[in-house]
């Protein structure tokens, strides 16, 4: 298992909250730029969810 940086792979079904927050925020900005307001609102809520987890000190979220 490669454990270097934020790109390490895990077989434990964990989601990297910081990485997912950045992805969702970029998708939100793209959707907003393309006037897809419903998609932008969805990605905003997803990015905000991961930001709240990061603010609480949670780096990984398990997938159940």
Q: What is the pLDDT of residue 6?
A: 60
3-state class of 42 per DSSP? helix
Q: What is the pLDDT of residue 45?
A: 97
pLDDT in tens, 1-57: 455 556 655 557 888 999 999 999 999 999 999 999 999 999 999 999 999 999 999
Q: Which residue has the tokens 């997912």?
A: 20
pTM reported for the whole predicted model: 0.77
Q: What is the pLDDT of residue 9?
A: 58
First-to-last alpha carbon distance for the chain, in angstroms, is 22
Q: What is the pLDDT of residue 1?
A: 47
Q: Using pLDDT thresholds of 50, 70 and 90, give the confidence band for residue 63.
A: confident
Burial (0-12, 13-18, 19+ Cβ within 10 Å), 13? exposed
């Amino acid at each position: 298992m490669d454990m270097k940086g934020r790109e390490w792979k895990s077989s434990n079904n964990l989601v990297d909250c910081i990485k997912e927050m950045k992805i969702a925020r970029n998708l939100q900005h793209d959707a907003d730029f393309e006037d897809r307001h419903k998609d932008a609102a969805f990605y905003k809520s997803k990015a905000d969810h991961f930001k709240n987890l990061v603010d609480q000190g949670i780096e990984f979220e398990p997938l159940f």
